[in-house]
Chain A
Amino acid sequence: MCWFHELVAALFEIVRREDFSDVTYLLEIFHPRLAKAAKPGQFVIVMEHDRGERIPLTLADFDPERGTVTLVIQAVGKTTKEMQARCPVGTSLHALVGPMGNPSGIGDARKVVCVGGGLGVAPVYPQARAYKQSGAYVIGVIGFRSKELMFWEDRFRSVCDEFIVCTDDGSEGIKGVVTAGIEQALAQHSDIDEVVAIGPPIMMKFCAETTRPHGIRTVVSLNPVMVDGTGMCGGCRVKVGDQVKFACVDGPEFDAHAVDFDDLMARLRRFAASETAALERWQESCRVARGG
């Protein structure tokens, strides 16, 4: 392992950053060993600073040559907004651990639909690429609220044989949510082996309902609240069929037709009150710091 001729950076250093919109940003982070070990479908846990919380993020990309991993993050809560404000290129994260979870089973499916909703476009991209590399026919479906929020369209398109864009407001592609795109693909192809859908839980729930009548194997990636990510806290337990699974070590990918999405969504709200309080307090402190 010699990395001298590659990037020279500190461990966990942010070497590239892209801001897709006011709320969505990309961090490329230096961690050669992680870049080498990572596989599609896996996630990492990051801590921005020593008083921060540990947040799980699914890998959007990894580059063993550059020795980096890429995360695409949506600034929704205190931690992710703070990272947005405090993580320019050249700064380092306090902690980055992974890759966690089981890699996606890029199996022998010959025709696959890869569905990414909003931020979910990022983690489903490495899977679409892996399927393409395995020789499968890949149909990409991406969905955003509107054209302005879109990112990685070209990148995603380049690993797909067919590509369907959906926007809620119709500003690009089909007017509607990703299930409209899935239905279009299903109507045109009778031989789809597998659907991979990553996005908000409600989106994944409806994707599962869309494919269920067709009996097509459908995989979703779950991102519940977790602390350690190594199977120790049990906070990430999800109901799959009649079993309780830990998303961090049994997942994060599960059979969409067996996942209890309502239970998942309820459990994602466990800390809603604290999260709101933390965000308000942080925004207030920013306002004070700006002297406003």
Chain B
Amino acid sequence: MQEQDPKVRATNFAEVACGYTLEDALREAERCLFCPDEPCIRGCPVEIDIPDFISKITEKNLRGAYETITDTNLLPAICGRVCPQESQCEGVCVVGNTLEPVAIGRLERFVGDLAIADGWESVPYVEPSGFRVAVVGSGPAGMACAADMAKAGCDVTVYEAFHEAGGVLKYGIPDFRLPNAVIDAEIEKLRQLGVTFECNTLVGRLFTVEELLTELGYHAIFIGTGAGAPSFMGIPGESLAGVLSANELLTRCNLMHARDFPEYDTPLQAGTRVAVVGAGNTAMDAMRVCLRLGAATVNCVYRRTRNEAPARAEELHHAEEEGIGFNWLTSPVEILGDEDNNVRAIRCQRMELGEPDESGRRRPLPVPDSEFEIDIDMVVYAIGTNANPILGQTSSLRLEQRGYIVTDESLATSIAGVWAGGDIVTGAATVIEAMGAGRKAAKEMKSYLGLRDTDVVYLPERAGSAGKRFGIDLQEHNYARVTA
């Protein structure tokens, strides 16, 4: 896939990966073996029928490919960009045993972008079910749940605390990785399905989860508020002016457009020499944002090695190409300031890997007398997040020790009629896992409301029943609520 030159792109916010042309897509689709085992489907958290959509691409039936994907994933343009395919569908691709695996994510994105560009609408006629569903949080979990419930005929309202919908896709993931226009197009599709978005609404404080069920009369609720609250390390110097969380940096830059200050009012003191602590996707985003805001040097500080870095392979690769400096096996011990309360340097120590810890990764241990300083003027923390406390403070939802919402295996919470999924249940994870949770909860909510799960294809039973049960033709018995 064509990409912007690293030197050029490090100075702009346009998308790095330019996307496939039709020729590229056809060539890539031809590489699929259509193996009988279909491991890629099982590798996908929402089980997209990957061989089917790829085969439709080879037939140049692109609309058909889009419909296959949107059977299970309403947001292909987003997932094609942000899924960690190397540990999901592409990671188990049989072609990958000997060659590069089929670029499933890029093909998905190609189809999703085409749908947006050509304005394909796969909006079915949906018979109203009479049920009202509230979704708290407009991020990936909430969007996926809202889509499924709307398709089942429910009147769905999505509540968002920010002034724009999209959640982490909007405030967190930068434009060069996932353009806001793509998110808005996908949200528009949900609107066409009949989903209402209510922004500027802080559930928990404006009304409680319990009030959604009682006073506001919703029949079922899904909570997908995300993890949110950023972690700091608790080392000296963290309240200096140039120390901030990746969440703050990214929100200022992406959602609030601080990169266009003073055209937009939100400021962001861009560093010229930046250290980013952490090596996940958020850390990569933060580093590459700093570069684009004009930083001369950007250093990643991570206490383990490149092998343990949690970022997607492509993000790590892009960051390296763009000239980010990586300090593996390095951990900060103190941030040093000057007399004006600005950051002057970060003092770090070298680490080495010891025995594996409970996560299975080798535990980093400090190397004695290995401290050194890096001269910087800004520190960004991207070392993970904690549970957002607001719903815990304002409802009787049962939480586990760290503040995440407790659910059973069907994602039902301790309040009847309320489900939860995504980062607020599992802790920080990926966009597609959150979407998977949203869809799983939707399935359970439909069953709770007595709605037939329209995703299941009901095949007529074979011999013995003579095609009828209780005197009703099976085809008729297995009616579908969604009609084209």
Chain A residues with CB under 8 Å of B230's CB are 232-234
Chain A residues with CB under 8 Å of B206's CB are 33-34, 37, 97-99
Is there an interface contact between A230 and B252, defined as CB atoms closer than 8 Å?
Answer: no
Q: Mark A204-247, 1 if CB is under 8 A from B, else 0.
A: 00000000000000000000000111111111010100001010
Interface presence of A190 (CB below 8 A):
no
Chain A residues with CB under 8 Å of B261's CB are 274, 278
B422 to chain A, nearest CB (A): 14
B426 to chain A, nearest CB (A): 17
Is there an interface contact between A266 and B241, defined as CB atoms closer than 8 Å?
Answer: yes
Binds A, one of B51-59, B111-119, B197-205, B461-469: B197-205
| A176 vs B130: C-alpha distance when bound (angstroms) | 65
Is there an interface contact between B247 and A263, defined as CB atoms closer than 8 Å?
Answer: no
Interface presence of B245 (CB below 8 A):
yes
Is there an interface contact between A100 and B205, defined as CB atoms closer than 8 Å?
Answer: yes
Say what secondary structure dominates the interface of chain B. loop
| A16 vs B285: C-alpha distance when bound (angstroms) | 44
Is there an interface contact between A234 and B269, defined as CB atoms closer than 8 Å?
Answer: no
Interface presence of A57 (CB below 8 A):
no
Is there an interface contact between A230 and B200, defined as CB atoms closer than 8 Å?
Answer: no
Interface centre among B171, B257, B263, B266 (most CB of A within 10 A): B266
Interface presence of B393 (CB below 8 A):
yes
Partner of A269, one of B171, B238, B241: B241
Q: Which residues of chain A from 18 to 45 have any CB-CB distance to chain B below 8 Å in the complex?
A: 33-34, 37, 42
Partner of A97, one of B161, B262, B264: B161
Q: Mark A80-124, 1 if CB is under 8 A from B, else 0.
A: 000000000000001111111010000000000000000000000
Knowing A37-B206, A52-B265, A231-B228 touch, does A95 contact B200 (C-beta < 8 A)?
Answer: yes
**Contact count A vs B, C-beta below 8 Å:** 129
| A100 vs B393: C-alpha distance when bound (angstroms) | 12
Q: Can you name the residue of chain A whose Cβ is closest to the Cβ of B342?
A: A270
B389 to chain A, nearest CB (A): 5
| A275 vs B265: C-alpha distance when bound (angstroms) | 9
Knowing A97-B201, A100-B205 touch, does A237 contact B239 (C-beta < 8 A)?
Answer: yes
| A121 vs B40: C-alpha distance when bound (angstroms) | 63
Chain B residues with CB under 8 Å of A33's CB are 206-207
Q: Can you name the residue of chain A whose Cβ is closest to the Cβ of B216?
A: A1
Q: Can you name the residue of chain B whose Cβ is closest to the Cβ of A49?
A: B265
Q: Which residues of chain B from 209 to 238 have any CB-CB distance to chain A below 8 Å in the complex?
A: 228-230, 232, 234, 238
Q: Mark B256-297, 1 if CB is under 8 A from A, else 0.
A: 110001111111110000000000000000000000000000
Number of interface residues of B (CB under 8 A): 41
Chain B residues with CB under 8 Å of A233's CB are 230, 244-245, 247-248, 251-252
Is there an interface contact between B241 and A270, defined as CB atoms closer than 8 Å?
Answer: yes
Q: Can you name the residue of chain B whose Cβ is closest to the Cβ of A82?
A: B265
| A49 vs B392: C-alpha distance when bound (angstroms) | 32
Interface presence of B162 (CB below 8 A):
yes
B181 to chain A, nearest CB (A): 16
Is there an interface contact between B388 and A98, defined as CB atoms closer than 8 Å?
Answer: no
Q: Mark B358-399, 1 if CB is under 8 A from A, else 0.
A: 000000000000000000000000000000111001000000
Interface presence of A79 (CB below 8 A):
yes
Chain A residues with CB under 8 Å of B389's CB are 231, 249-250
Chain B residues with CB under 8 Å of A234's CB are 229-230, 232, 244-245, 247-248
Q: Mark B293-320, 1 if CB is under 8 A from A, else 0.
A: 0000000000000000000000000000
Is there an interface contact between A235 and B248, defined as CB atoms closer than 8 Å?
Answer: yes
Chain A residues with CB under 8 Å of B171's CB are 228, 232
| A97 vs B159: C-alpha distance when bound (angstroms) | 12
Partner of A271, one of B256, B267, B341, B388: B267
Knowing A96-B200, A232-B251 touch, does A244 contact B232 (C-beta < 8 A)?
Answer: yes
Is there an interface contact between B248 and A102, defined as CB atoms closer than 8 Å?
Answer: no
Task: List 11 additional A-B contacts (Cβ < 8 Å) besides A53-B266, A228-B162, A237-B239.
Answer: A95-B163, A97-B200, A231-B388, A232-B228, A232-B388, A244-B239, A249-B393, A266-B341, A269-B241, A270-B241, A274-B267
